Amino acid sequence: MNVQNRYILKNNIDTASMPLFFTFTNREGKMWSIPYKNTSIGFEIYEPSGKKGILLKKYNCLLKSSVFRLFFKIELERIELTDSLMNILQRYYGENFEYSIFYGTPSVDQKITIQIYRGNSILGYCKIGQSMKVQKLFEYEASMLEFLNKKGVKNIPKKTFEGRVGKENVFLQSTQKQKGARTLHSFGKHHRIFIQELYTKTHEKCKFENTRLYKYIEFLNKNTGKLDVIYRKSILKAVKSIMDVYSNQLVDWGCVHGDFTPWNTCINKNIFFVFDFEYSLKNAPSDFDYWHFVLQTLIYEKKLSYDKIINYIKNLFSVTAFKEETIRNLILYLLYIISFYLMRGGSGDLEIAGFRARILLGVMELEKRLEEEQ
């Protein structure tokens, strides 16, 4: 196991008294630790998209079988959180709680998530990171949650604590997620209602140049050289078309989640709960979240090829009336997400940005054909 991405754990030679955990890694290198006791609720932190992961979560009651663990490459180990981390958790959640851990994607700006629960009740979630970038993300998400809660947006987390604990940045937040919560993998009425509520309760008129989205478009305009040469001319053309529409204009946009996906949402007793607002934007077209959900599920869950993704988008426009604004917002979303990954600059981000750039070119060609058919 990678020790570097588990700095939250106590380094103790006497492990006999430590709790026993099942630890496993998926094919992308992401790792989880689920407690040996009360395993089923511990697995609520695990939201798999692959068939093998879904089977693991469904049949986690078989984890005590060595054959089952061997098939899923699961290790048994004794681990415990550091004293400083336990102290802050006990301050807000009391004693005698249990926890399961998602270690995040190993990187300089890695974020670890801990699910805190007692019995069958999930008490909250704790995010931890060490870098300055993670600190800024936590501060931003905390401020966005406070803003959205003041605006009356329902079924989102509330900040419990955000700040430094020793060397770590720690962010505690409430949850409505409970045992048995379901993940919805197809965009439907619950998603539409939430997106509409976000817009209705947060929209405001402001100058395009004063939005955070504008800064991303400007960054992309100056950094197309980081992308493959085959994409640069088309991206600059798309940026110009967006600037021609919005420069020096007032936009009536509201808040968007920014990472609206099946794994950042769940439904529990008909309550649709949305979390992880660290990439939210205060001012953006409301269908940003729709396009993000659609494309992320096509890429990461359905694992469609480029051609099938473009064909899927084409079919969307064939069954609905073509609207210039709708496809413009899709292009604007793609410009933003390309810029986002270029700006983040993590391992693999350039490849992700490149694939989104390829999708952008396909969408621009589709836009041209649709306009010719009008």
The amino acid at 257:
H
Q: Is residue 133 part of a domain?
A: yes
Residues 195 and 169 in one domain: no
Q: Is residue 121 part of a domain?
A: yes
Last residue of a domain, one of 173, 199, 216: 173
Q: Is residue 227 part of a domain?
A: yes
Residues 67 and 214 in one domain: no
Can you say how many angstroms the Cα of residue 223 is from the centroid of all Cα atoms in its chain?
24
Residues 63 and 131 in one domain: yes
Q: Look at the block and give the residue holding tokens 């940003």.
A: 288
Q: Is residue 179 part of a domain?
A: no
Alpha-carbon span 174 to 111, nearest angstrom: 18
Residues 134 and 208 in one domain: no
Alpha-carbon span 74 to 201, nearest angstrom: 45
Count of the separate structural domains present in the chain = 2
Q: Which two tokens stand for residue 362?
A: 């396909």
**What is the extent of the structural domain holding 347?**
189-373
Q: Which two tokens stand for residue 163?
A: 């700040």
Residues 64 and 144 in one domain: yes
Residue (of 175, 4, 11, 164) closest to 88 by Cα position = 164
- What distances in angstroms separate CA 46 from CA 93, 221, 245, 358, one per listed residue? 21, 38, 43, 31
Q: Cβ distance 157 to 145 under 8 Å?
A: yes
Last residue of a domain, one of 113, 147, 173: 173
Q: Look at the block and give the residue holding tokens 């050289």.
A: 225
Residues 59 and 11 in one domain: yes
Residues 360 and 212 in one domain: yes
Residues 97 and 57 in one domain: yes
Alpha-carbon span 284 to 288, nearest angstrom: 7
How do the pLDDT tens digits run along the chain, 374 residues long? 444 567 787 765 566 778 899 999 998 889 999 999 899 999 999 988 788 999 999 999 999 999 999 999 999 999 899 999 999 999 999 999 999 999 987 777 889 999 999 999 999 999 999 999 999 999 999 999 999 999 999 999 999 999 999 889 999 999 999 998 999 999 999 999 999 999 999 999 999 999 999 999 999 999 999 999 999 999 999 999 999 999 999 999 999 999 999 999 999 989 999 999 999 999 999 999 999 999 999 999 999 999 999 999 999 887 665 577 889 999 999 999 999 999 998 878 999 999 999 999 999 999 888 777 76
Residues 145 and 207 in one domain: no
Q: Is residue 141 part of a domain?
A: yes
Residues 115 and 213 in one domain: no
Q: Is residue 273 part of a domain?
A: yes
Domain containing residue 286: CATH number: 3.90.1200
Q: Is residue 193 part of a domain?
A: yes
Residues 27 and 165 in one domain: yes
Burial of 205 (0-12, 13-18, 19+ CB in 10 A): exposed
Q: Is residue 182 part of a domain?
A: no
Last residue of a domain, one of 141, 173, 205: 173
Give residue 25's pLDDT. 94
Give residue 1's pLDDT. 42
Give residue 12's pLDDT. 59
Residues 154 and 193 in one domain: no
